[in-house]
Structure 1
């Protein structure tokens, strides 16, 4: 019996799952999602789960608003995804970073005493200069989101294949023919590549360089520490003011009574996947970055004492993919009819994923334009992931937020 579908989605992270759910809702027909591992096991497993809006574009802001409403609806309808709309707070450890923070970040400035009150004492007033509270921020637990979306996808009639690695996309006469997998081909009328760090290899075989660079990040979680469930997501800034660029920014949130934290470190293995093969599982990556996060957490304990009480630590690695202009890559892959890509999360796939998924589903089923996110908008400017990283660093250097 032939293995076929109308649309195949490659990748079972939050972005791929959100797209698959929206395709079903849009009446796209027989939708098949194919995942090399289990759902939510790639970069989603290392997701911080915070909801904000950092991009200076209305399309991204609309996607962020849609995402918050989408997650709220999931929670209200009985899917426990850990959704909370209690805001997020940037906390300044010292005077210099405090002045930079209030000049750069929009939100409500808080005194040190107000920071202590809002965090229920988790961040004592004596240890900080102040904070900025962004009230429309929120948080979810990324792996729980993946589980909830997979359940909805199946309930809506979608077919989900896990532990079925995709090896290639085959074409005939300039059009997609099938998704080739280790368990045989799946004939399809259209395919969406939403495989995160693995996406570039699939599009490269189709003759298109995907201008997205995977950069390693890691998250750490602890056993229960009696952390209050009302704690907003925290960004601890100015912990290493003597280091270049202010050092590693530490984000911290409550999860099941314990702490979940991580940071965007610049040390090895941040760029180990640039222009290199991506391993089958991200837990095979080196832990040097985790050691950097633990070092920064040690300094963060001066601001948030609970960070010193860590034990029974659990670690997850991710490889979010960055683009030269920090905007997503969504739409048709040039040169091959019926192939689309959903990529370039820019370390904010949880925030924007549902909005991006809806946008691409609308494009595929109704022809809604996606010009602002076109994958080929850079032309031939980039041919390597190192060039993408260099362009991103140059853009960041032109406008550096406090750290």
Structure 2
């Protein structure tokens, strides 16, 4: 006979979205929560992320939600004691067309309380030591942006949850969502049944397959993206750098290594596979700006998925026609930075029936059903 566990809320996925949702449910007074993770917490996209946190997006929804998420990142880092820094983002611009586009983006950011601004080459040199600026016209500076240590952040949240009595079940795979008519009633796992009237699916690239078990087909696509980290180096500069022309990024971690990524063409649903052409491209981009990097060794290389939605925005909130079923998926590479606000929004959907931020309500599955897509252009790496 298979074991049965009963709870109030079952969360599938032990990454930042799932753990943050459990965190905010506990803060709101929901005490009986179970998190199910098929491997170990953070083993999906969370521990493969580039650590960056920004509000410099192109849509109102992303700008507003990330402005709030940034405030939560600061508060959570102070409460839980993990590494977080507002070192900024510097978007390197090389021509007049980019300048025109980013000047308009800055106007949009400013209208929603995000103080980005166009800065000169001289300002770039002050922010980024020993940068070669010969190919730079100017830059967009996002001073609210920054970075957090994903390992410290997730483990500190998980520690808080365990102390509050939340059960985090690792090496337990959710295989099917259970329903009784229009009502969700739990989750079938490799270790037995978990009964509960509320199920949150925040399982990254496996979300689509799980919700198909209740006949909902989320339009999500898994696209491989690549990243590399160098050996540790002395502290060089604080901002995360973005080369607008190539969609490449570079950031120095708290431990000293430089994480780098760049855009290369990949097939949807392809197996994550290392590629030599990625290494050549990402190295050539950043050696152009930081010639001294040619003397730094690559330490580790990994490939993960960006779970892409049709409009590069996440799907957050209840799913139609199935009471008690919620989803957080399709972050298109931005799941880590959005983690705190996503957990808060989902807790509000579950407890209050709607999110406190109007822009968040626009990111529910309803927009997909109605064809009211909200396109985000600032997807990098």
Q: TM-score when scaled to structure 2?
A: 0.86
Once the two structures are superposed, residues 292-345 of structure 1 have per-residue CA deviations (whole angstroms, 9 ceiling, x without a partner) of 254232232011124323324212322122222333212222232221111121
Instruction: Report the equivalent of 1:141.
Output: 149
Once the two structures are superposed, residues 44-88 of structure 1 have per-residue CA deviations (whole angstroms, 9 ceiling, x without a partner) of 1221121112445555434212221222123223522x3111211
Question: Secondary structure in 2 aligned to 1:29?
Answer: coil
Question: How far off is 1:101 after superposition?
Answer: 5.8
Matches within 5 A, 1:330-369: 330-369=316-355
Question: Secondary structure in 2 aligned to 1:377?
Answer: helix
The 8 Å contact of residues 31 and 165 in structure 2, kept in 1 or not, is answered as no
Tell me, which stretches of 5 or more residues in structure 2 are unaligned? 107-115
Question: Secondary structure in 2 aligned to 1:205?
Answer: helix
Aligned in 2, Cα 1:175/1:102: closer, same or farther, shift over 3 Å? closer
Question: Secondary structure in 2 aligned to 1:133?
Answer: strand
- Pick from 368, 376, 379: which aligns with 2:369? 379
Separation in 1 of the partners of 2:39 and 2:88? 33
The 8 Å contact of residues 34 and 165 in structure 1, kept in 2 or not, is answered as yes
- Pick from 271, 275, 297: which aligns with 2:268? 271
The 8 Å contact of residues 9 and 34 in structure 2, kept in 1 or not, is answered as yes
Once the two structures are superposed, residues 132-151 of structure 1 have per-residue CA deviations (whole angstroms, 9 ceiling, x without a partner) of 21111111122332222211
Structure 1 window deviating more from structure 2 (305-314 vs 168-177): it is: 305-314
Separation in 2 of the partners of 1:19 and 1:264? 30
Tell me, which stretches of 5 or more residues in structure 1 are unaligned? 239-247, 274-283, 383-390
Matches within 5 A, 1:6-25: 6-25=8-27
Matches within 5 A, 1:2-401: 2-80=4-82, 82-92=83-93, 94-95=94-95, 99-100=99-100, 102-106=102-106, 107-121=116-130, 123-126=131-134, 128-228=136-236, 230-238=237-245, 248-255=246-253, 256-265=255-264, 267-268=265-266, 270-273=267-270, 285-288=272-275, 291-369=277-355, 371-379=361-369
After superposition, the CA RMSD in angstroms is 2.7
Separation in 2 of the partners of 1:207 and 1:54? 36
The 8 Å contact of residues 124 and 303 in structure 1, kept in 2 or not, is answered as yes
Separation in 2 of the partners of 1:371 and 1:132? 29
Question: Secondary structure in 1 aligned to 2:197?
Answer: strand
Once the two structures are superposed, residues 191-238 of structure 1 have per-residue CA deviations (whole angstroms, 9 ceiling, x without a partner) of 10000110000111111111222222122111112242x421100233
